[in-house]
Amino acid sequence: MSPFIGSQTCKVDNKGRITIPATFRRFLGTDGETLVVTKSGDPCLRLYTPEGWQAFQDKLNALPGGKEKKLVVRFFSLNSAILQVDKQGRVALPRDFMSEYGMGDEVQLLGTIENIEVWRPEDLRVQVKDAPAALEKLEPLL
């Protein structure tokens, strides 16, 4: 499977649906009809393919045991949902997830290699303003 890269602004219809861009849809994995949405520590939602979600669950399971692991597992269990991709390539994002992050009638989809992030465009602009400093620090390590 190839990585999700790039960005696209999408309209949210009155049913809370967004259309997954064709550039992302072609990498939806073997199923192609299901995505998992989850809240995150950032002010965005994350969309995973079933294979990507399994890989994420494997990382969760590999965390050292203890109270923090239980809290993190509970966070993702409570704040995740399975979405169906319709024939037009649309998914309905949970309204409560969207409202928690103040998302309105337009969102920015950002491919982050292993998943797709869903942002309020203004929040994404704030998040990436510090990218040049991080790039200067980390790019030599790549």
Distances in Å between the Cα of 79 and the Cα atoms of 40, 41, 45, 84 are: 8, 11, 10, 17
pLDDT of residue 134: 87
Written as tens digits, the pLDDT of the chain (142 aa) is 568 999 999 999 999 999 999 888 887 765 668 999 999 999 999 999 999 999 999 999 999 999 999 999 999 999 999 999 998 899 999 999 999 999 999 999 999 999 999 999 999 999 999 888 888 998 888 8
How far is residue 108 CA from its own chain's centroid? 11
Range of the domain at 129: 4-141
Which DSSP string corresponds to 12-76? --TTSEEEPPHHHHTTSTTT-SEEEEEE-SSSSEEEE-HHHHHHHHHHHHHSPPSHHHHHHHHHH
Give me the CATH number covering residue 95: 3.40.1550.20
pLDDT of residue 54: 95
Of the candidates 82, 106, 78, 112, which has an alpha carbon nearest to the alpha carbon of residue 5?
112
pLDDT of residue 30: 59
pLDDT of residue 59: 95
Structurally, the chain folds into a number of domains equal to: 1
